[in-house]
Structure 1
Amino acid sequence: MQAELLIHSQWVLPVDSENRQLTDHALAIADGRILALLPSDEARRSIQAERVIELEGHLLIPGLVNAHTHAAMTLMRGFADDMPLMTWLHQHIWPTERRWIDPSFVRDGTRLAVLEMLRGGVTCYNDMYFHPDVAAQVTAEAGMRAVIGMIVLDSPIGYAADADDCITRGLAFQDRYRDHPLIRIAFAPHSPYAVSDVPLRRIRTLADELEVPVHLHLQETRDEIVQSLRDHGERPIKRLDRLGLVGPGLIAVHMTQLDDTEIARLASAGAHVVHCPESNLKLASGFCPVAKLLAAGVNVALGTDGAASNNDLDLLGEMRTAALLGKGVAGSASAIPAATALRMATIQGARALGLEDEIGSLEPGKSADLVALDLRDAHTQPLYRPISQLVYAAGRHQVRQVWIQGRQVIRDGMPTRLDPVEAIAAAQVWGERIRADS
């Protein structure tokens, strides 16, 4: 067999149906896709490769999928901390966005976010923010994969005058990127409390026509439930269901306020939930019942949320928090095992975004989106089970190599298509501007 690249790794977690943990295996890649995953001894005998990489002491995993973030909000990292969600949004974040949001803000914030995510092993992210065309351009130039949301809000916020204007702008963006190899599109109405019924109905119709998912914040806090009961006489999920939005195209983020009936409805509808444990903890929003959702058959993915409420885009750290928090919430040490946490950050994230046939696991035919971590550090030794070290001990500084579509975007810990000095300098300028205006 002929291959362009053959990667030998001491350990491989392919995230397949059997959750195998492989030792001394190799991955063969050609035309940006995985040709084979096989024992290294066999690969040396049977595969002729143009380039061979030996990764002793490394663990090879699928690229991580950050299923919910607001990339450009890296420029507000640490800007407004230690306050509840609605205070944070209405008194700090939204006024700052009205003052500063423009294409240059989104360009520089997204570039910083992409740099951070790639260095942490994230190869695909699902974004919700303004000027999506700018975010898409920055992401594609960096060689990264993303689902970019067509943001929708009723209120003017610098990007568009109202929900109809948001949708019009989003559709023009969707036309430009409909056939892009790295960029997919979703509708991204901010939340039920920020978008009224008429545009939500229109989004449902357009999403069905375009065959794109709908990505929104949902039942994030107790106050959201109280507000919905007051304004609409029903809980947010019930309202969305009435509007036809609860189905296999729904990517519902946070979901800390769920009852058993709603969990059953999400399962029967084939909807997806994105768990953002660290953001939920920081904003004291509540606890997503992950173990109950999984037991009911709901696909649960993992997201960081934006850096303004996290305050990082570290999906490895999010895996650890999800596993530990899930055990505490369920009252069971086996509720969210390491293998489940990894699946939430890879194949289940891909499934939520409609990309499970393309990414999320290391299997022949899929895109060669993969990450190598060096586990020879003191805090990941000795090594009994690589998956335990990955989820409970490893850090993103151990990400050494990253490939997307077989192209190396991180080599020896450094980006190949981004200038870190330039990205950080631009972020510092924004920090000075925003600080001086606060």
Structure 2
Amino acid sequence: MKLNNVIVRNQDVFKRVNLTIEAGKIKDIRYVEAECSGVNADDFLLTPGFVNGHLHPNQLFDRRFLDHLSLPELLHKMHKQVQKTDDDRYSEAVFVLMDAVRCGATSLYSVASNPRPVLKAYKDLGLKGAVSCFFNDQWQGHGDAPKQTDYDRIGEHFEALFAEQTERIKVHIGAASIGSASDALLCCVDRLARQFQTKVNMHISEGLAQVNTCLASRGKTPVRVLFDLDILGSHWNLIHATSVDSKEMDLIQEAGASVILCPVSNAKTGVGMPPILELMKRDIPLCLGTDACSNNNTNNILNEAYFASLLQTAHHCDPQALPPSILFQWLSETGLKMMGLTQTGKIAVGEPADLLLWSLGQGAFVPLAYKNFDSALIYNAPDLKPHTVIIDGVKVVENYRFIPREEAAIIGMANKNSAKFAWKLKSTETYPINNNASH
């Protein structure tokens, strides 16, 4: 495959290049113009593909009936006993993954307590990334607790799931939250991660309510629980972390752990904002994720970067608090590292050809003469989608159309399977509030 006369950013200069892709990798980059003298609406901007660092593909059918709820209320309603089939979960996952890819994600980092339908969706669509398999043995929220699980059985279960790992799809482990995992389970998950040399994902300190519940039940905050168990390390990815204090940030830094930020979800559920600038000062690796359709409600990772920038600018009264250069680093390089992948997320010879083509004919790029396209991508994020998405040298989106499977069929399957849950919208049930807040 050849991409001719496309525009790329090299440091602070936009250049024209001819790029050759072979065997899924970038084979050659030849400069046509060292600095673009002019651009027009027929041109295409080429960027690295994005990483969506946190997705719940199995929560599509919770979209919209959980709006305007606090996180404890949302969790109670979402976890109300409904018998989803694996076909339901598969149709959710196919739609969510398609939607995320159409928004520019070429690597997708998902979590699921029932991961097999998600793994099948990845494989059937020819996508890449990682799926973290969640295990839980308690619940401090309202409703029934999961049955206590034999930890040897957890090991056997994860070993079977890990056997489904491929070169393109990594299988990781985790727990939904501190409130859903005993100390024994947390140690079990960590032991399995070390045994299989994989990553651990867990929602943590997602609002003060969760922190207060942990203090009441365990006598310490969530990060301190992990640190005192001597399991927190560089293989841990902590999701949300909106309510961590300065000492906890020091512990995260000391352990070499990473944090996945979900600013839209955090704002929508009212759990607050993570201390992003304080995390950055400690050089804690950060990336972005869209979270779930139940609490975002989109799968648009570029919109996440836009929202992160706006929130930090407003909070710190500083328009330079979170510049596009940092956001693009989170969308590519650090996100890939947090999945345990070796690719750099850069447009370079020898790198996997995970690429996005943006039509400069879109209105968001006007005035074209100003260039500064990175700014347009971030600050016009709601108006933009990539014209073409390439994963490992294969086009999966072209002319804004998803190629691996007919979009209308994916949407139709999701609509059909979700119809039986419509009664939830009419529910007038009240929700007892328990201060454990995670999902």
Provide TM-score, normalisation by structure 2: 0.89
Q: Deviations over 1:81-140 (max 9, x none)?
A: 1111111102x1111xx4133311211000001110111111111111133122112112
Number of matched pairs: 412
Partner amino acid, structure 1, of 2:387: R
Unaligned runs of 5+ residues in structure 1 are 43-53
2:8 maps to 12
Which of 1 and 2 has higher RCO (CA within 8 Å, sep 6+)? 2
Equivalent-residue separation in structure 2 for 1:265 and 1:332 (angstroms): 27
Counting only pairs closer than 5 Å after superposition, residues 124-143 of structure 1 correspond to structure 2 as 124-143=107-126
* 2:20 matched residue in structure 1: 28
Please say if 1:326 is aligned against 2:312.
yes
Distance 1:240 1:13, change over 3 A: farther
In structure 1, the residue matched to 2:159 is 171
Whichever residue aligns with residue 362 of structure 1, its letter is I
Confirm whether residue 379 of structure 1 aligns to residue 371 of structure 2.
no
Quote the residue 1:121 is aligned against.
Answer: 104
Structure 1's 344 and 189: CA in aligned 2 closer, same or farther, altered over 3 A?
same
Per-residue CA deviation, residues 5-41 of structure 1 (Å, 9 max, x unaligned), is: 2213542247xxxx55432123221110112333136
Output one character per residue of 1:370-395: Cα deviation in whole Å (capped at 9) or x when no partner. 11111322232113201111111144
One-letter identity of the residue aligned with 1:374: S
Structure 2 Cα separation of the partners of residues 417 and 433 of structure 1: 27
- Residue identity matched to 1:80: L
Q: Is 1:235 matched up with 2:221?
A: yes
Aligned counterparts of 1:273 and 1:349: Cα–Cα separation in 2: 10
Task: Output aligned runs, 1:326-365, within 5 Å.
Answer: 326-355=312-341, 357-365=342-350
Residue 219 of structure 1 contacts residue 225 of structure 1 at CA under 8 Å; is this kept in 2? Answer: yes
User: For 1:200-247, what per-residue CA distance to the aligned partner results, in whole angstroms no more than 9, with x for missing partners?
Assistant: 111111111111010010111101111111111111001011223321
Where 2:129 maps in the other structure, the secondary structure is strand
Instruction: Look up the match of 2:130.
Output: 147
Q: Is 1:199 matched up with 2:203?
A: no
- Measured after TM superposition, the shift of residue 166 of structure 1 is 5.1
**In 2: Cα distance, 1:246 partner to 1:55 partner:** 50
- Report the equivalent of 1:405: 392
SS in 1 for 2:416: helix
**CA–CA distance in 2 between the matches of 1:94 and 1:168?**
26
Aligned with residue 404 of structure 2, among 407, 417, 436: 417
Q: What is the CA-CA distance between 1:367 and the residue it aligns to?
A: 0.9
- 1:10–1:56 contact (8 Å) kept in structure 2: no
Q: Is the 8 A contact 2:377 2:384 kept in 1?
A: no
TM-score normalised over the length of structure 1:
0.89
Q: Does the alignment pair 1:295 with 2:278?
A: no
Residue pair 1:153, 1:166 contacting (<8 A) in 2 also = no
Q: Return 242-251 or 307-316, whichever deviates more.
A: 242-251
Instruction: Give the Cα–Cα distance (whole angstroms) in 2 for the partners of residues 193 and 141 of structure 1.
Output: 34
CA distance in 2, matches of 1:222, 1:9: 51
* Alpha-carbon distance between aligned partners in 2 of 1:405 and 1:161, rounded to the nearest angstrom: 41
Distance 1:348 1:139, change over 3 A: same
Matched-pair contact (CA < 8 Å) for 2:238–2:258 = yes
Per the alignment, in what secondary structure is the counterpart of residue 176 of structure 1?
coil
| Identity level (%) | 23
Aligned mates of 1:245, 1:26 — CA distance in 2: 48
State the distance in 2 between where 1:224 and 1:147 align.
Answer: 27
Relative distance call for 1:336 and 1:425 in structure 2 (3 A) is same
Q: Give distance in 2, aligned partners of 1:312 and 1:247.
A: 31
Amino acid at match of 2:373: P
Structure 1 Cα separation of the partners of residues 243 and 28 of structure 2: 43
Distance change in 2, residues 1:396/1:187 (3 Å): farther
Of stretches 337-346 and 55-64 in structure 1, the one that deviates more from structure 2 is 55-64
Is the CA contact 2:164–2:171 (under 8 Å) kept in the aligned structure 1?
A: no
Letter in 2 for 1:12: V
Counterpart CA distance in 2 for 1:141 and 1:396 is: 29
Correspondence for 1:369 among 346, 351, 354: 354
In structure 2, how many angstroms separate the alpha carbons of the residues matched to 1:166 and 1:421?
A: 38
| Residue 154 of structure 1, CA deviation | 1.2
- CA distance in 1 between partners of 2:394 and 2:383 (Å): 20
CA distance in 2, matches of 1:248, 1:86: 30
Shift of the 260–36 alpha-carbon distance from structure 1 to 2, 3 Å rule, reads farther
Matched, 1:109 2:92: yes
Secondary structure, counterpart of 2:164 in structure 1: helix
Task: Please tell me the root mean square deviation across aligned C-alpha atoms, in Å.
Answer: 2.2
Q: 1:361 to 1:101 in 2, by over 3 A?
A: farther
